[in-house]
Amino acid sequence: MKTIRRWNKKTIASLLIIASSLVAVHIIQAAVAAEPGTDSDPLVTQSYVDQKIDSLSTNEQELIKKVDELTKTVNELSSKNKDMESRLSSIEKYGMFVALELTENQKLMAGASAEIIVRGGKAKAIRGTGGGLSDITSGTGTDITTNQDVPLNHLLLVSRDDGRGIKIVGKKAWVLVKGPYTIE
């Protein structure tokens, strides 16, 4: 059977005194080592301190220039972003066909790059200053000009914003339009 050794009060007190002494010696050595002007904590000259401060000042000026450049770049990108958002809004607005029901004598005046399809009813073309409506579906390459009938279900392209469009001549007409337009 193993015997368990009991510690008496004197042994415990002796161990505490030894441990306290070791800690005290360690603290004293650390305090002596941290004394300014020794090898572990050398003194520095005023010129050394000035040089370091000048170096920090130069770095600060360089950082300020870089911040200014980055701020300018951010502002430019922000401006471009607003322009892109505006363009995207236009694409979303004009990127889909809009179904319209128009009545007799109403005019659909189309802007540049608009597309028109007359789905039902009767309409006549309105020529602009630069030409008529380009009939993409016909494949002939000819324009539909003023007072010519607009064929049903033909894709018409308006190349310029110069007064081109269609005029409804029946009681009603159903039209699909994509792109900028006004109704008169």
CA 145 to chain centre: 44
Give dist(CA 147, CA 48) in Å, integer. 92
* Per-residue confidence (pLDDT) for residue 1, from 0 to 100: 46
Tokens of 45: 């000259």
Task: Give the largest Cα separation in the chain, rounded.
Answer: 123
Give me the residue spans of the domains in the chain: 9-43, 45-94, 98-183
Residue 91 phi/psi, 5-degree rounding, is: -65, -45
- For 107-143, what is each residue's pLDDT tens digit? 999 999 899 999 999 999 999 998 899 999 988 878 8
Asked if residue 181 lies in contact with residue 115, where contact means CB atoms within 8 angstroms, the answer is no
Asked if residue 102 lies in contact with residue 172, where contact means CB atoms within 8 angstroms, the answer is yes
Say which CATH class 98-183 falls into: mainly beta
Instruction: Record the pTM.
Output: 0.52
In this structure, the number of other CB atoms found within 10 A of the CB of residue 108 comes to: 23
Tokens of 168: 């409804």
- For 14-71, what is each residue's pLDDT tens digit? 778 888 888 877 777 666 655 666 666 677 777 877 787 877 777 778 888 888 888 8
